[in-house]
Amino acid sequence: MHKNIRMALGSVLAVAGIVFFILPGSILFLLGGLLLLSYDFPRARVWLKSCQRAMSGSAQKIDRLIRARKLRS
């Protein structure tokens, strides 16, 4: 019962995340959906780790840009 609910909610969140990735919105829905699906599907766990690495890399890049901008002014 819990597995079916987790899979359904994970699927809905993942689809909403993909839609919000294309349209302006939050990508956190995609991460939440992948998190729920990763309990039952190993491939979703791989995608989740890939998304986490990409978001971490982009956050570091933004931090470097902001730091460089503050040092210039």
pLDDT in tens, 9-56: 999 999 998 898 888 888 889 889 999 999 999 999 999 999 899 989
Q: Tell me the DSSP string of 15-67.
A: HHHHHHHHSSS-THHHHHHHHHHTTT-HHHHHHHHHHHHHHHHHHHHHHHHHH
Q: Locate 62 and state its tokens.
A: 């933004």
Domain that holds residue 58: 2-72
Tell me how many domains the chain contains: 1
- Tell me the whole-structure pTM to 2 decimals: 0.75
User: What's the rounded Cα separation, in Å, for the pair 15 and 20?
Assistant: 9
Q: Give how far the C-alpha of residue 9 lies from the chain's centroid of Cα atoms, to the nearest Å.
A: 15
Per-residue model confidence (pLDDT) at position 34: 92
Write out the H or E segment, with its range, that includes residue 1: none
What's the confidence (pLDDT) of residue 71?
82
